[in-house]
Each structure stands twice: as structure tokens, then as C-alpha cells.
Structure 1
Amino acid sequence: MLTKNASEMLDKLLELGSLTDLQNTVLQKAWSGKTYPEIAEDLGYDAGYVRDVGAKLWRVLSNTLGLEINKTNFRSQIQRYFQTAETNEPVKQSASPTHNWSTSSIHIAESSQVSSSLALPFSLHDESIGREEEQTELTNWIEHQNCRLLVIQGMGGIGKTTLTQHLARTLGPKFERVIWRSLHNASPASDMIADILGTLGHLDDEIRWEEDLNHSLTVLLSYLQQHRCLLILDNLETILRSHERTGDYREGYEEYDLLFARVAQLSHQSCLIITSREKPKTISTYEKQNKQVRSITLRGLSAQAAQQMLASYDFSCNDSEDWELFVSHYAGNPLALKLISTSVRGLFESDLAEFRKLLVQGIAISDDIDDLIERQFSRLSLPEKELMYWFASQCETLTYAQLNNLLLNSVARTELPRTLERLKRRSLLEDVRGRFSLQPMIAEYAMGRLIQELCQEIASGAFDYLNRLPLVNAEATDYVRSAQVRQLVQPLVNYLVERFSTRLQLEQRIEQLKDMLQKLEPSQKYSGYAGGNLLNLLILMDVDLSNRDFSNLTIRHAYFAGKQLHGINLQGCRFANSVFRKRLGAFSVLP
């Protein structure tokens, strides 16, 4: 039941008109405290679809209101937005720090327009636990090596902003001015620079009205040469392109690179810190050319640091292995650990041993973590998504050579080096001595997305990911193959049985898809993994294959070991990477 005040705020929000009818409904039900599965049940939609609608909803609200909004904080952020709008209190600007420096000396705004809806992004207590090594390195670069341009990179929730806040607190007294800007809803570079100059007291009428970017940059760099300033641009990824061309600027924001180039190349005594989930390509070039341009990629916290950070949750944990698994599963991501810790405390009374049972089964309990990853996943191009699905579905680390052999599409193989580099630049891919993998929580998310995609394809009769990658790697070790069955195939079958009502109806649907595949042109039906995937689904459903007709198909990665093949028609089949109980000599084998 909504309070009168909450209802009024919600009505005002809906009046903005930027939401679809379904997003409006999801927002109202989420405000009432319902989870995505509960909303899906109320509306008659698939839970995964409602979760996708929710993720898009929070992005729309973030862009509309100029705040960072997700399912965890949306009530408080919306309340703060309308409360601030009513009071209309501007963000305070204070003079350059001299004596008694504090965080109130930092000028902060959301994008180049000073926003009255923002509070200071500085917490009252220091949450930079576990970042001592990074703090020392960054402080050394700024204080002793006169670093001009510094990029702090990492995936969402890893602690980029928190670490930057710590740097602003500790190094602030050594600078005359500290200016913080978030790039959510950022204006063009000319407006941003004009705003910074205005904050510094150097915005003359010529710059204001003519918006001369080169002149503005000259004035700004002159100031940075004469005065020691710390400039911070948070969330740079919001002005970078999504999908293709990772690391390039969005249309209309290319001129930001002029700012970065001048800051990197001209001599001055100031420092510009950028936080981003991705690093612009041009900054990588400046870094190679100039030792005063640096970047650091933040990794997850250690188990010990995470335990210190989460001390207030009073976890019950008698086995250090439980704690190690808990932290490693979420890759030491501070925000993810805090989000899931709230659920563990509420559902399991902070008992990690009980929660571990769900982790082992691959059961997710927090929509908030999905929302966190979705923000990064939604920026991927189709080749990047496909590669993410490959890493998730194979359940093991893969080398470049292994991936190149598994990819059947010649274009995908050609683009493989570039796609790998893009995923690394987005902080989504782990690379340990040439073996690539996903962090466990990202792999879990990607696996869930892949299962949804496969369900839709099987229901609609499409052959996309069903034909692009194998559900089971027949040549993998027993351990890896068992993991694929447990984490991918069995959940897929469970979802499909629920969708088709009975296992018999699902079996019939797979037969229909097999018939459709057999009717395709040879160049199509021989080109992918679909034949082997359909056969593996029947095998793993323990369906009797007697008198089944799988003739004239390409069968890749079928696992027949221990399965009776009496009466099955495999005439004219082409086999590749498949495993039989005994050697068969009557079939064509692909190289």
C-alpha cells in the first residue's frame, strides 16, 4: 500500500511521459515492494522478460532524472529528486581551499549543468578498504610523478568512484581547487569546459556567447599551469559508443578528446582524473607516448578485505572455504558483495554455509546484481555478446586457439582478436597468461541470458545461437561436460518443459525443429551446431532414440557414450567432435 506522499511522487514521475505502459506498471508494482518474479506472475509475462523491462526502466529514469537509479535505490533517489525540486536548493560553491580544507571545498555537479538535485558523493566514513596498494600507487603518480591525466578503469561496482573520493579527500589539501563532475547526461565538451571555467571564475562573455572551444581550452590550460587543480570526470563511459567501436566517442562528444589531448600533452601542474568502465582508444595512445598519462584497472577485493568491509553483516562462517567461495563467486566486487550480503542476511540469517548450497546449484537470489551487470551487458555488440555466451557455456577457461577452432563462422574468427580486445577494454574478460574467462557472477548472468535466448529460439523455430555454439562439448573432460549439463542444459530443459507444459510436447517440438533443419539447403543444414544440439537435448532428456530419423545432418559434439543407438537413422550424417560408445565406420567424419 502506497503512502499518500509516495503516491503523489509516483504520479508526478509518470506525468513525465518518458515511460511505456509496461514500464509504468513495473515501476508501480516495484514501488509496492514486489520482486520481478512476482510482477511477472501478476502480468502473465516471463520473469526474464520483466527483468529486462526493469533494467531498461532504471536506465530511462537515470537519464530522465539525472541520477544513478537501480532497483535497490530507486525509491530513495526518486524521493530525493522531488524533495530537492521542491526546495530548489542549489549546490554550494565554495572558494579555493586554503586553511581548514574539507570535502565541502570540492565543487560538484552532475554534468556541465550545475544540478540542484545532487548531494555530495562523499560518504562520512572511509570505505576504501582493501585499496591500500592502489591508493599508494595513485598518490605516487599524482604527487611525485606529476601525472597530468589519470584513468581509473573497471567494471560497474568495482569501486572506481569510491577510490576517487578517497583520493580527493586525502590529496585535496595539496590542490588549490578540486572540481568534480559526473558525466551522466553530460553536455557537449564546450559546455562542460565553459562550466568549469565559470566555477574557476574565468568565464568571460566572449567564451560564454561564442562557445569558442579552442579559446576555452587555452584559457583552461593557462589556469591549470598557474594553479594546481584536481579535476575529476566520473562515469566517462556514458559518452562512449555502445555496441560496435568500443572506446570511441558518441556522436557529439568527440571534442572531449581535445580536452584530454591538451591536458596530456601540455605542461602544467594540475591533474585530471577520469573514471570509466571502458578506456577511450585515444587515451591508450597518449599513455604510450607520455609517462605523465597513466591508467589503472581495478580488480576485486581480496577475501580478507571483503570480510573487513562486510563486518557489519555479522556473517556466520566457520569454514574459510565458504568465505573464499562467496567472495570469489562475485569476483570481490564491492557493490555486488554488499547487494548479495543484504539478501544473505535477510534470507539465511547471515549463514554463509546455507547460502553456499545455492551458489553450488547456480541459483541466483538477487535481481540487483543482474541489474548491475545488465548496464554493462547492454553496451555490447552482437559479436561481443556471442563471445560472452561462448565463455559462459563452455564452463572453463579458453585460449585463443581453442576459441578459433570452435567458432564456425569465418567472420567471427576474423574478428576474434578485435572482439577479445573489446571485452578486455570493457573490463568484462579475465586474461591470465593467454587463457580467457569470465568472472563467476558475469558468467552466471550470461548463462541466464543465453538460456532465455535458446528458449525463445526453440519456441519460435529460429536457428541462431542454437546453431552458433554447442550446448555440450563432447570432447571436454567429464567434469566440464557435467558442469555444462548442470548449468546450461538442465536449466534449459526445465524452462522448456514449463513453456511446453509436458516433456512429451517438448520432445515433439525438438522433432519438429529437426525436421525443419533437414529441409534446409545443404549449405545451411551442414554449417552449424544445431543438429548436434537437438540430438544432445533428446539424449540428456533420456528419450528413446529407436527409429528416430536424424539422417543427412551435420552432427557436432554429440555425446553418445552409454546410449543405445539401435534403430536410429544416421544415414548420410556428417560427424565432427562427437563421442561414441564404440567406433563406427559407416558415417562421414568432418575434419
Structure 2
Amino acid sequence: MDIAEVLTLADELIFAKTGKHLDYVQEAILRGTLQDTTYTQIAQEVYSSPSHVRNVGSQLWKILSKELKKDITKTNFRAVLEKGIVYNYQSTIVENITGENVTVNKNLNICREKVRSPKTPQNPQPTAKQPHIDLDDAPEISTFFDRTSQLTTLENWILASRTRLITILGLAGSGKSAIALQLIPQIQHQFDCIIWRSLRNSPPLSALQTDLIKFCRGGAPVPAPEEMATTGGLPLQYLRSYRCLIVLDDVQTIFSSQQLAGNYKQSYENYGTFFKQIAESCHNSCIVLLSWEKPREIAALEGGDKNCQTLQLNGLGESAREIFTEKGLAESEKWSELIDIYRGNPLWLNTVAAAIQDLFSGNISDFLSYDSLVLGDLEYLLHQHFQRLSDSEKQVMSWLANQNKPVEISKKPALLELSPSDFLKAVESLRRRSLIEKVHSCDRTLFAVQRAIAEYVKTHIL
């Protein structure tokens, strides 16, 4: 019996007893035991503590002992297999803990052949298990544009670097949800549970965590509130026992308006503690935040630490031309100019392309002939961002929108009624909102505002 058969057998036995498949830690314990590795070594592999791995192992051996009617421990598990003990059970229908009837194949024949290392190429790896997935809260995405490099970055962070907390940051319509949905099928077999939740209605942290725990437990009752409180909310054992991918969308809704970016609404400050705990604690899971603005904890956590990363999602390049093809726009030689003006934002380009087709019969030259940039329905989209700004940010945006070229911020502009400290805080906050761009020129760092955003500012803020 090779390691693939051992894992398949163990998975069936665990499922018969608990109604759940082998989780990531249990599988690592079985693999490690067959390779004579210690709990400490296994813990390092799964980014967990030795004590947690030891506790999971103890429960695992108890279940296997009961099901195989043989006293099994980490010490003797391999020897039991190598002795060639034969168990012959018939396929049986059993009721698992969730109340479901499941068929478990108990025709088992353990041969005397020594268990092979999983590194031996003679035998295939076990068939990937289907994860438990809930994407009910995810938006429906009909079109996905080329984001190959960003998808590769996210996949490397999650699978290779084991990053625990990832923020995908960008303006409304930039494609944050689309890239997350595109990523899930590529990595789903590496997880036990995948869940997508939107924070659009600003749920209290306790409600969100109760929902997440219930999902991890397969609908079983959640722990008592006092148990939740002692662990800061979502007990880490769930993120350790199960390899979970949790996507939290619309994170900006838990932040206050008219304040600097990333400041939580009253009574929502515990989200910051939660995010910090996710990044700093040992576990096997990954939480992905989709937001217009960066939580204030993230900047401090991500400095060179692979456990916390941020992907700034900028606009599309030439792949955005698909939008104009679909909308039937003429003058393809001017498509690149439109992409540049609206910085490749997919939603913005769709909105503008629809207006050009409707008002100008698809003629881009007529659209661009106006003295000022036509925003149309983009005004509503941008208004959602600008109603969140503090007074100091509005002052800085007004100043930047009137500059003809990127500018330095080494000195505070004299015309702004802000202290140097407040000026720099406002610039940093606007960067965290993706409303201003950083431009590198030789050895200098300059800042600028996108043309469409500048037009909005001149119309609505000045």
C-alpha cells in the first residue's frame, strides 16, 4: 500500500466517523508519519504550532484506532501497515455526524510491501478532494480581461509563500471581484473550504465570525459567545484545522466617511484587531480583502512580511480594446487614447463606450471634440469615492487637480491651509484610496491625478 492508498483509506474512515474529509493538518500528519518526521517538523510544514499538530494527531489516531479495531499511535502506525494486517469489510452505508447516509468502502487489503515515500514517482498522488465552497455573496462576472501577471502574483503569494492576509486594492470598477473569482478555480483544490462574504451591509464582526465558523463546521452549532471572546472572535483552530480561503468584499463599508482612509466606524474597530490576528498568528488559511481603501493596520503589517501583502489593481492595458469591440466603436486607432484617459478601468471604459455609441454613433472623435472631458455616468461612480474624503483630502485633491504636470510634495504648498503634517497625512490617505498616482522621474517621486478624476474635482469640489 503506497501513500496515496493510505490517504484514501484514512479519508474514508475519517469521513465515516465525522462527516468531514481529511483536513490539511491531518493529511500532513499522515504523510509525515510515513516519512518518520516529528510533530515539530510537520508543524513547520503547515505553519502551525507543535502543540496544535500534536492535539490533531491524538484525535486522528483515536478515530483510526476505533475504525480499524487496532490500537494505533504515531509511533506504531507505519509498523501496523508493514505487518500486512488484513481487514476485509464490505461497503457499508453509515450515518455520519451531520445526519447524512454515506457509503464507505471498507474493502481494505494492507499488503506487506513497505510504504513508499511520496517523492517516489511510481505512484500518482491522491485525487484532489472537492472543497466546500460558498460563493453566494460573490457578484456575477460575465467578462474577464487579461490579468495574467496579477493572477500569477496572487497564486504565488497564496500557494508558495503561504501569505495569510492579502488586500486587493482599487477604485470601483477596477476588477477586484473579477480577479478574485478568476483566481478561485485555479487554486480551489488546495483548500478545504472557500467562502465569499460581502461586507456591503457592514455586519458586526461577531456576526461575520459566527457565519464563518458555521460554514467551517458544516452547519454545526457555533461555540458559545464566551469561547469566541477568549480567542478574539474567529477561533484560530478553525483556520489551522482547515485550510480556508475567505474572501471579504466591500471592506471599505466598515470605514468612516469624512475621515482619513482606513479609519473604522465606531464599534467596528475590532475588525482591525481581527485582521492583525490573521496576519500574525500561525495557521494554514488565507483571507483576501477587496477594498477601495487600505485598512490602516495593513501598511504596518506588510513591510517586507510575506504574511501580509497588498496588490494594487491598476487599469487594463491593450486588453481593454475588447470592450470597444463589443460596444461596436469605430476609429480603432483612437482606442488607446481612450484607455489612457480613463486609465484602463474596465467599468469606466464600459460606461464611456456605451455613451459614445449611444450619443455619437460610436464616433470617438466627436466625443473627444468637447473642450472638457465628458464624464456622464462616471460622475456618480466618482461621487461614491469623493463623499468619503476628509476636508484636508479635498484641499489636496483640488490643488493636485489644477497642476499641469506631476508635482513633488517635499514642501507643503503655501496656498493650502494645512499644517505640513496634515498635508502629508492627506497625501498618504489619498494614495491608500487609489485617488492619486505616484510617478517616478529620475531620482524623484512625483504625484498626479488621473485626468477623469481631475475633471470631476474641478467640477464638484473647486
TM-score when scaled to structure 2?
Answer: 0.67
Aligned equivalents of 2:448, 2:177: Cα separation in 1: 26
Distance 1:185 1:241, change over 3 A: same
1:26-77 C-alpha deviation (Å, 9 max, x unpaired): xxxxxxxxxxxxxxxxxxxxxxxxxxxxxxxxxxxxxxxxxxxxxxxxxxxx
Q: 2:408 aligns with which of 399, 416, 419?
A: 399
Distance 1:263 1:414, change over 3 A: closer
**Is the partner of 1:288 in helix, strand or coil?**
coil
The 5-angstrom pairing of residues 519-530 of structure 1 reads none
Aligned equivalents of 1:211, 1:225: Cα separation in 2: 17
**Is the Cα contact below 8 Å between 1:194 and 1:216 reproduced in 2?**
no
1:245 to partner: Cα distance = 3.6
Aligned equivalents of 1:195, 1:408: Cα separation in 2: 47
Aligned equivalents of 1:427, 1:188: Cα separation in 2: 26
1:107 paired residue number? 134
Q: 1:317 aligns with which of 327, 331, 340?
A: 331
**Is the partner of 1:179 in helix, strand or coil?**
strand
Distance 1:218 1:376, change over 3 A: closer
1:364 corresponds to 2:374: yes
1:380 to partner: Cα distance = 0.4
Structure 1 residues without counterparts, runs of 5 or longer = 1-97, 111-119, 452-591
1:347 corresponds to 2:343: no
1:146-197 C-alpha deviation (Å, 9 max, x unpaired): 1111110111111111111111232223211110000011221111101111
The 5-angstrom pairing of residues 59-74 of structure 1 reads none
1:100 to partner: Cα distance = 8.9
**Is the Cα contact below 8 Å between 1:264 and 1:290 reproduced in 2?**
no
Aligned equivalents of 1:450, 1:264: Cα separation in 2: 38
1:439 corresponds to 2:450: yes
2:265 paired residue number? 250
Aligned equivalents of 2:232, 2:408: Cα separation in 1: 48
2:119 paired residue number? none
Distance 1:192 1:109, change over 3 A: farther
1:240 corresponds to 2:255: yes
Aligned equivalents of 1:408, 1:187: Cα separation in 2: 38
1:288 to partner: Cα distance = 2.0
2:193 paired residue number? 177
Q: Which has the higher contact order (CA 8 A, sep 6+)?
A: 2
Aligned equivalents of 1:310, 1:140: Cα separation in 2: 32
**Is the Cα contact below 8 Å between 2:260 and 2:426 reproduced in 1?**
no
1:198 paired residue number? 214
1:298 paired residue number? 313
1:232 to partner: Cα distance = 0.5
2:24 paired residue number? none
Distance 1:285 1:193, change over 3 A: same
**Is the Cα contact below 8 Å between 1:131 and 1:163 reproduced in 2?**
yes
* Paired AA for residue 207 in structure 2: D
1:130 to partner: Cα distance = 2.9
**Is the Cα contact below 8 Å between 1:160 and 1:298 reproduced in 2?**
yes
1:134 paired residue number? 150
* Paired AA for residue 398 in structure 1: V
Q: 2:139 aligns with which of 105, 116, 121?
A: 121
**Is the Cα contact below 8 Å between 2:436 and 2:447 reproduced in 1?**
yes
1:233-258 C-alpha deviation (Å, 9 max, x unpaired): 00111111222242222111111123
Structure 2 residues without counterparts, runs of 5 or longer = 1-126
1:492-513 C-alpha deviation (Å, 9 max, x unpaired): xxxxxxxxxxxxxxxxxxxxxx
% identical aligned pairs: 30
1:152 paired residue number? 168
* Paired AA for residue 139 in structure 1: E
1:214 to partner: Cα distance = 3.2
Aligned equivalents of 2:149, 2:177: Cα separation in 1: 16
* Paired AA for residue 160 in structure 1: K
The 5-angstrom pairing of residues 146-545 of structure 1 reads 146-201=162-217, 207-208=223-224, 210=226, 212-215=228-231, 217=233, 219=235, 221-288=236-303, 290-302=305-317, 304-318=318-332, 320=333, 322-358=334-370, 361-364=371-374, 366=376, 368-401=377-410, 404-407=412-415, 409=417, 411-433=418-440, 434-450=445-461
Aligned equivalents of 2:401, 2:310: Cα separation in 1: 28
RMSD of aligned Cα (Å): 2.4
Aligned equivalents of 2:346, 2:335: Cα separation in 1: 14
Distance 1:179 1:337, change over 3 A: same
Which structure shows the bigger proportion of residues in helix conformation?
Answer: 1
* Paired AA for residue 347 in structure 1: L
